[in-house]
């Protein structure tokens, strides 16, 4: 992958089939002239619900999708945000107007923490034309682009979901990557070290995992760092295209952000979707603390 802007006009960036994962505001404005499905994925752990922000203002034509219900199955032993079933995800995306042959652009408030989950899930289920608005809603507003509080009306889509288009890890796979490759823990350092755990009942990390908090993937404006800087960051952690790389977090949301950053850097990586909340569901699995 070269170091020219990942937000350039050519959405394929020299690749066949899939598009580059990021898009900027000017490119999105141009893309809307040819037709694009906009998905608003604003979400915060612990609330308030993203639909409230959507109702206050969103990109014209954007449809709100709920991360907890549209991009995840109900919580349980599989984790707090296990992957949705194929049929359930397909139904949700069709309701949102997602079409098989139409570009989909997803956004959240700013740093793509939630939008990356939508990007990854759509790609995993086979949609090849998905991009994340770099800088999210705030980048759109800061550029002086219009917003609306009118709920978008959309025709049902025709997206057909088929799983398996991106690499996925279960607990055993994550353990193997931690042992023989590089397993990145995308959570904040204090959670990785086990010094605090505000969400899950057990603190610590998967033995052998390397801490790589997602805030290090973006600048202060919430936009992703250039590909070269991301490559340097991940190479310093041992994560290169020559290694087997995986990523996890608390429940598989911010880990998708890590996968997105790795993709920009040109490093293939697998997502442990169940993540820490699935790992600790089995008391027999080992837990490590400290740095």
Which residues are known to be catalytic?
A: 249
Q: Which two tokens stand for residue 227?
A: 């590909």
Please tell me the distance from the alpha carbon of residue 263 to that of residue 255, in angstroms, as a whole number. Answer: 12
Rg of the chain over all Cα atoms, to the nearest angstrom: 18
CA distance 108 to 91: 21
Look at residues 104, 98, 69, 101 and name the one whose alpha carbon lies nearest to residue 85. Answer: 69
DSSP state of 77: T
Cα separation, 125 vs 165, in Å, equals 6
Count how many residues are written for the chain: 291
Q: How far apart are CA 96 and CA 35, in angstroms?
A: 14
Query: What six digits make up the tokens of 37?
Result: 């499905």
Identify which of 130, 124, 73 has the alpha carbon closest to the alpha carbon of residue 96.
Answer: 130
What CA–CA distance (Å, rounded) separates 247 from 271? 5
φ, ψ for residue 237, nearest 5 deg? -100, 0
Phi, psi of 49, deg, nearest 5: -55, 140
Q: How far apart are CA 41 and CA 46, in angstroms?
A: 15
Contact of 112 with 130, CB cutoff 8 Å? no
């Amino acid at each position: 992958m070269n170091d020219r802007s990942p937000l350039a006009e050519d959405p394929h960036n020299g690749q066949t089939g899939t598009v580059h994962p990021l898009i900027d505001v000017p490119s999105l404005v141009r893309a809307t002239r040819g037709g694009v499905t906009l998905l608003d994925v604003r979400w915060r752990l612990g609330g308030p619900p993203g639909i409230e922000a959507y109702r206050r203002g969103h990109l014209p034509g954007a449809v709100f999708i709920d991360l907890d219900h549209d991009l995840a199955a109900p919580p349980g032993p599989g984790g707090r945000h296990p992957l949705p079933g194929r049929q359930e995800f397909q139904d949700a995306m069709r309701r949102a107007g997602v079409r098989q042959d139409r570009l989909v652009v997803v956004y959240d408030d700013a740093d793509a923490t939630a939008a990356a989950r939508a990007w990854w899930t759509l790609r995993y289920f086979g949609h090849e034309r998905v991009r994340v608005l770099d800088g999210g809603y705030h980048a759109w507003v800061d550029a002086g682009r219009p917003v609306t509080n009118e709920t978008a009306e959309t025709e049902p889509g025709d997206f057909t979901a088929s799983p398996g288009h991106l690499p996925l890890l279960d607990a055993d796979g994550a353990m193997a990557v931690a042992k023989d490759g590089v397993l990145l823990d995308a959570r904040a350092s204090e959670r990785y070290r086990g010094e605090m755990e505000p969400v899950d009942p057990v603190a610590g990390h998967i033995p052998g995992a390397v801490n790589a908090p997602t805030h290090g993937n973006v600048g202060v404006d919430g936009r992703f760092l250039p590909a070269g800087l991301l490559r340097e960051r991940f190479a310093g952690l041992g994560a290169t295209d020559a290694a087997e790389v995986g990523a996890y977090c608390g429940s598989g949301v911010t880990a998708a952000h890590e996968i997105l950053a790795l993709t920009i850097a040109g490093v293939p990586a697998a997502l442990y979707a169940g993540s820490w909340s699935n790992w600790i569901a089995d008391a027999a699995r080992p837990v490590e603390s400290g740095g």
